[in-house]
Amino acid sequence: TTPLLQVRNLQTGFKIDRKFYNAVEDVSFNVDRKQIVGIVGESGCGKSVMSLSIMQLLPNGIGKIRGGEIDFEGLNISELSDKKMNKIRGKEISMIFQEPMTSLNPVFTIGYQIEEVILNHESISKKEARLRSIALLKSVGIPRADKIVNEYPHQLSGGMRQRVMIAMAIACQPKLLIADEPTTALDVTVQAQILELLKDIQETNDMSIILITHDLGVVAEICDEVIVMYAGKIVEKATVDELFNNPKHPYTDLLMKAIPKMDEDVEKLATIDGLVPSIINMPQIGCRFANRCPKAMPECLTVTPQLGEVEPQHEAACLLYDESWPAGEERQREGV
């Protein structure tokens, strides 16, 4: 059967001073039905640009899909008109963001906003929509839903607002939910509850989820597959178990070390030294991680690593494992 979502050789550019630079380059992956796929990397790695590309929500005239395809249930949605995409957005594919306050409208009640989503896609009465929104609020664990439905976003806590956003996102039972840093603004306990909720609604609604995060710890909680992105490219891709038991890419190693520990002060979260190269001065040749990689070799500056299988169903883009490169195997033994 065809995967629910197939992203093939996606290339998304941003216009800066009249020139396009790629923020996502040659990215390919699938999301199967009922699967949770995590996309991990620091900010500036292209994760959000990728989700905006899938949703066709790139900033007009600035962000642009410049190559590749995005097939949703076999239909290439990267070429759809706004009108057709509006039918899919919110209904077939929906999205939640990091800060619910920016996506919820402060002047409308919670109920009004959920019902607006429903009425936008379905022809039912306002009364039915009201009942549906109360049921939705209950299903995402909001107590006293029949009261909360008449409240305004600022009357709720951050965690409750994120639950409301999830209720809105699943209002029309989408097949795919894209969650971009859904727990980043929340404290640790609430974060765990929201992840659990996402897992629950994935199961009850037979949905697929793309979970975008900078935190590999979040991925470990609920994902089936993980994609690690660096500087606009996929650098590693595997099942969660495989990735955690057998990480290959040096960037993944560093992300593992940066997983926040429960007993650590958030202020001194481990960070990785150095910065992701900006899209306007991306190295054109060699490995984009070379200037920060603890295992970099001179060749890393002149040979561009390709994503390839390093174990069954496990891919990485690193010269330590690149078999097309004659010295690869030997280096693998010495290097790691």
Tokens found for residue 192: 């765990």
CA-nearest of 249, 244, 253 to 288 is: 249
Residues 6+ apart with CB under 8 A from 158: 100, 101, 185, 186, 190
Indicate the residue among 148 and 319 with the shorter CB distance to ligand SF4: 319
Distance of CA 329 to the CA centre of its chain: 33
Number of Cβ within 10 Å of residue 21's Cβ equals: 16
Picked from ligand SF4, Mg ion, none, the partner binding residue 48 (CB below 5 to 8 A depending on kind) is: Mg ion
* CA-based nearest residue to 147, from 117, 118, 110, 172: 110
Q: Based on the shown chain and the rule CB under 6 A, indicate whether residue 318 belongs to the binding site for ligand SF4.
A: yes
Q: Minimal distance in Å, beta carbon 98 to Mg ion?
A: 8
Q: Residue 243 touches which of ligand SF4, Mg ion, none (CB < 5 to 8 A by kind)?
A: none
Measured from the CB atom, the residue of 88 and 287 that comes closer to ligand SF4 is: 287
Among the listed ranges 50-58, 60-68, 101-109, 284-292, the one in contact with ligand SF4 (CB under 6 A) is: 284-292
Q: Measured between alpha carbons, how far is residue 35 from residues 97, 204, 261 in Å? A: 19, 13, 27
Single residue of 8, 138, 295, 314 touching ligand SF4 by CB under 6 A: 295
Per CB under 6 A, the segment of 92-100, 126-134, 252-260, 316-324 that binds ligand SF4 is: 316-324
The reply on whether position 250 binds ligand SF4 by CB under 6 A is yes
C-alpha distances in angstroms, 59 versus 19, 49, 71?
Answer: 15, 10, 21
At 9, list the tokens: 């050789």
Query: Choosing among Mg ion, ligand SF4, none, which partner's interface includes residue 121 (Cβ < 5 to 8 Å by kind)?
Result: none
Contacted entry of Mg ion, ligand SF4, none for residue 211, CB cut-off 5 to 8 Å set by kind: none
Site membership for ligand SF4, residue 141 (CB under 6 A):
no
Q: Is 98 in the site for Mg ion (CB under 5 A)?
A: no
- Which listed range, 9-17, 110-118, 127-135, 295-303, lies at the site for ligand SF4 (CB under 6 A)? 295-303
Residue choice 48, 51, 53, 113 for contact with Mg ion (CB under 5 A): 48
Cα 201 to the center of its chain, rounded Å = 17
Residue 319 in the binding site for ligand SF4 (CB under 6 A): yes
Structure tokens at 298: 């001179």
Three-state secondary structure readout of 287-304: CCCHHHCCCCCHHHHCCC
Q: Which residues bind ligand SF4 (CB under 6 A)?
A: 249-250, 287, 289-290, 293, 295-297, 300, 305, 318-320
Chain residues binding Mg ion by CB under 5 A are 48
